[in-house]
Structure 1
Amino acid sequence: MTTNPKPSILYAGRPIRYATSQWEKFQHHFTIIPYTSRSKSEFIHALQSGGPYSSINGILRPAISEPKTDLPLLDKELIAHLPTSCKIIASVNHGYDGIDTEELARRGIWYCNGAGAANDSTADIALFLIIAAFRYTTFSESRLREMRGAKYFRVEGDVVPYANTPRNRILGVVGMGRIGVEISLRAQALGMKIHYFSRTRKAADVEESLGGGVVYHSTLKEMLEVADCVVLACPHTPETHHILNRETFNVMKKGVRIVNIARGKCVDEDALADAIEDGTVAGVGLDVYHDE
């Protein structure tokens, strides 16, 4: 009597160090094939008939790996080489830009992202960047480190007028998804007023969960005109590519703060640099960059 072999999973990640008991259970159900390719061409070669990845049933990417050993982007060219046995790809990453999900769907391959796994962590960083953009804490820390034992700590005079409290300021959230909601809850603890622009208005119970007083704007321009701080919490799509650009910076308040925890390509960085230079933008907190 023969038994069916366990499905084979291509594992593209570092050795498991923490969730060891869960990993042991996982290995009980699946045969793990470690990902060792160093380039896209090596990966494609290993997927060919007779190669080490030629009969995989799925791919697991549990964490961000080292750049030299991480999976290449799953574009149409690479997907064409995946074996017909491959039916699912799972990644811890929240975003999936760089993944041709339409081509995967056409091939009948599921793509599962880690939506929700990093909501709190991302919102925490957004709060940190909001405070830093208003209070110039990062700038002040950098200046302090440059003093190297000097007796007095001095901040340049032209910065002082811009460093102030976020309390009673309007936070304009672009993209009121789960992360946007978490950012709003944290910002309210600072005494900020929440305005938002999103593809659709949130349900009444969601707005009520934010304590009431939340203002929805049906157009981005309308929200940007009143916001004291703009936080990007949207996915990167053709519609949100360079959603902050010269045109949108021109309608913002003088001295606005910009925080981006979304995707770097949501901001035209040349336009942002000019907006900082001309005084439109008084503080910036970036968790992501255009090319990273």
Structure 2
Amino acid sequence: MNMASEHADKPLIVFLGGLNTNLPEFERIKQKFAVLFYTPSTRKQFESDLETTLSKVVAIYGAWNHFASIGFVDESLIERFPPSLKLITVCSAGFGGIDLKALRKRGINFCNSPTFGAAAVAETVLYHVLNGFRKFSIFESLLRQEKHTIQTRTILGDVKKFDADTGKFIKNNDTSVNYCFGHHIGPLDVHSPVGKTVSIVGFGAIGKEVGTRLSSLGMEIIYIKRNKLSDKEEAELGYKVRYAAKLEQVVAESDCIVLCLPATPESQHMINKELIDKMKKGVVLVNVGRGALINETDMIQGLQQEKIGFVGLDVYPEEPLVSHVERQDMTLTPHIGSSTRENFDQTAVFCLENIENFVESGKLQNVQN
């Protein structure tokens, strides 16, 4: 379960989860510090090990799934942390379930990683948006069954109906069907995103990268954030944008809505029945922020009433569980928005350098508490 270096007299660095051990930054860590790879099986085991194996830990490196097996890092658990622990630095940008105030009270710094994966998340948005308009995933799924391009397009073009309640296309059993170009699936047209309007909610590093990619498709970009960018900042984006302070102001004209913001008490369930009722019929809704941004019950009702035309999700309200997997009017990815080798290594390097700099000089980046 555990693998420790032989340098027991050196400051102890504990690694929760894996990393690329071939990184030169990790080689430096191994030379300078005692290293322990640790995988707690249960919270109870972790609490016990804090008094023994981990009693002299100086810093904890948290990989992407850092405290998953432990549960909430709450005040009762933090009180058990040894006095030697002064830093927890994690690869993820998000840090839900960690009591930052209790950590600060104990003198423990908590650092997350910058959004190195903004471009990767934007690529995931691009996938969902293209599916929303072009329905590629539906064509691909049937093509894998039929192994025939014309037959695939013909079957989908001649489907009897789209059942909005179940989100499924009902196939036509009539074999005397006409050739289909692929421009519709039964009664639903396949559209190009060119000239369509997209509202990007949350316009930080990720939102700006999303704007770059969707603008390149020929989409009109509206960005929504608390404060408008300066004229200079807008010009530096390299693509034309329009500002709105609230989604409500532009929801009726939006062909596509992309959520790129964190879940806060203010943003929780921001997509709800009241807002959905104001949406443009057939809107494409994509969420790469947090599952709590959408009232899932209201979203499904919006699909059933065909107010929402298509949904693309990379985050879910009850992760790791995912619902509604049978619906064909949704594309689902397993929270892999930033999951690239480049991002995996970049965040690791950031955390490793944060540990090294802190232990040697007290310097830190991205302290959150």
Aligned-pair CA distance for 1:148: 5.7
Which residue matches 1:33? 36
Contact 2:199 2:247 in 1 (8 A): no
Displacement after TM superposition at 1:150 (Å)? 9.1
Query: 1:176-255, aligned counterparts within 5 Å?
Result: 176-211=203-238, 213-255=240-282
TM value normalised by structure 2: 0.72
In the TM superposition, residue 22 of structure 1 has moved relative to its aligned partner by 1.9
1:14 matched residue in structure 2 = 18
The residue correspondences of 1:35-184 to structure 2 (distance < 5 A) are: 35-48=38-51, 51-64=52-65, 70=69, 72-147=71-146, 152-153=151-152, 154-156=155-157, 157=159, 158=162, 160=185, 161-184=188-211
Cα RMSD for the two superposed structures = 2.2
Kindly indicate whether the alpha-carbon contact (under 8 Å) linking 2:19 and 2:63 is maintained by their aligned counterparts in 1.
no
Distance 1:151 1:132, change over 3 A: closer
Give the CA deviation at 1:112.
1.2
- How far 1:136 sits from its partner (Å)? 0.7
Q: CA deviation at 1:64?
A: 3.7
Contact 2:201 2:257 (C-alpha < 8 Å) held by counterparts? yes
Q: Which moved more, 1:29-38 or 1:118-127?
A: 29-38
The share of aligned pairs that are identical, in percent, is 30
Q: Which has the larger radius of gyration?
A: 2
Residue 220 of structure 1 and its aligned partner are, at CA, apart by 2.3
Letter in 2 for 1:89: I
Structure 1: runs of 5 or more not aligned? none
Q: Quick one: structure 1 residues 146 and 290, their matched pair in 2 at CA, closer, same or farther if it must change by over 3 Å? A: farther
Q: Deviations over 1:179-214 (max 9, x none)?
A: 000010011100111112112222333311233531
Decide whether aligned partners of structure 1 residues 226 and 106 sit closer, same or farther in structure 2, where only a CA change above 3 A counts: farther
The Cα of 1:18 is off from its aligned counterpart by 4.3
Residue in structure 1 matched with residue 171 of structure 2 by the alignment: none
Q: 1:17: how far off?
A: 4.5
78 and 146 in structure 1: CA distance in 2 versus 1, 3 angstrom threshold: farther
Q: Which moved more, 1:204-213 or 1:88-97?
A: 204-213
- Counterpart contact for 2:131–2:137, Cα < 8 Å: yes
Higher relative contact order (CA 8 A, sep 6+): 2
Opposite residue 92 of structure 2, the aligned amino acid is: N
What letter is aligned with 1:14? Answer: G
Q: How far did residue 71 of structure 1 move? A: 5.2
**1:162/1:239 CA distance change after superposition, 3 Å:** farther
Q: Cα gap change, 1:15/1:228 in structure 2, threshold over 3 Å: closer, same or farther?
A: closer
The DSSP-based 3-state class of the residue aligned with 1:84 is: coil
Kindly tell me the number of residue pairs found equivalent between the two proteins.
Answer: 284
**1:226-262 deviation line (CA, Å, top 9, x unaligned):** 2111111001111111111111111111110011111
After superposition, the Cα gap between the structure-2 partners of 1:17 and 1:7, relative to the gap in structure 1 and judged at 3 Å, is: closer
Structure 1 stretch 4-13 or stretch 121-130: which is displaced more? Answer: 4-13
Gaps of 5+ in 2: 1-7, 163-183, 320-369
Distance 1:77 1:100 in 2: 10
